[in-house]
Amino acid sequence: MNKIFHLVFNRQNNIKMRKHLIKILNLGFVLVATSTLTLAEKPNDKNDRTMKEFKTTEFPALPYSYDALEPYIDARTMEIHYDRHHRAYFNNFVSAIKGTALENSSIEKIFAEVSKAGDAVRNNGGGFYNHVIFWENLGKGTSKPSAELTEAINKTFGSFDKFRETFSNAAKTRFGSGWAWLYLTPDKKLAVGSTPNQDNPLMDVSPIKGIPLLTIDVWEHAYYLKYQNKRADYVEAFWNVVNWDEVNRRYAEALK
């Protein structure tokens, strides 16, 4: 009789334990699934993405409408620049790294050894990355350099006006096509310089080295429809649409 009681009791306990275990496992599955769904809801949220998480397999949406930066950058130029030029760089870059060891590499790693990767990766990877930085550097509002960035600018250039002049001159005097940059050097100092074509300060082939903070595209397709050959007018208009909140974020991130 005792044996039967123990068997029944243990069986009931085992059933209860199994039920509890199933509940725990189900709860864990729900938690994992919920977490996964939450992450999947915002796979390309730029506000949660740091530079080191830059995606090489996704063409990011423009952060604003084509006409958002009027009258300084016209809607037609913005549309052609983003949807044709930028998208072409992205598509060609993806094709260039597909099936190679670079396909799963970070953009920083690719650029660090881009001299070994070939012109298709260098030109299209740079064109893809540089434009993402450029779009995020732009916006209309009342943002301004943070206190920390302002202090660093004054220390390096003497004043904000002097920095603006230095940056503008780098953009205006870049021969042919290219970019001007405010960047943080490896020894954590601000510097201004320019690069040809689609090169940038992250590349091992670049004459300037560091982490990009602010950039301006001085390829003719960035301004020719509105400003014709008047690059200087385009560069001056650029200062009306700098998104300093994003530059501040990049600066704080680069200092870490």
Instruction: Decide: helix, strand or coil at residue 67.
Output: coil
Distance CA 82, CA 78 (A): 6
Q: Phi-psi category of 110—alpha, beta or left, where left has phi over 0 and alpha has psi -120 to 50? A: alpha
Q: Please tell me the predicted confidence (pLDDT) of residue 141.
A: 81
Chain centroid to CA 113: 19
Q: Please tell me the predicted confidence (pLDDT) of residue 120.
A: 98
Evaluate whether 149 touches 157 at the Cβ level (below 8 Å).
no
Q: Please tell me the predicted confidence (pLDDT) of residue 57.
A: 85
Cβ neighbors of 16 (< 8 A, separation 6 or more) are none
Distance CA 25, CA 21 (A): 6
Instruction: List residues bridging with 194 in a β-sheet.
Output: 180
Distance CA 8, CA 138 (A): 73
pTM: 0.79
Tens place of pLDDT per residue across the chain (256 aa): 444 434 433 444 444 444 444 443 343 433 333 332 222 223 333 333 333 457 888 899 999 999 999 999 999 999 999 999 999 999 999 999 999 999 999 999 999 999 999 999 999 999 999 999 999 999 988 799 999 999 999 999 999 999 999 999 999 999 999 999 999 999 999 999 999 999 999 999 999 999 999 999 999 999 999 999 999 999 999 999 999 999 999 999 999 9
Can you list the domains of the chain with their CATH numbers?
74-255 (3.55.40.20)
Of residues 132, 160, 161, the one with CA closest to residue 57: 132
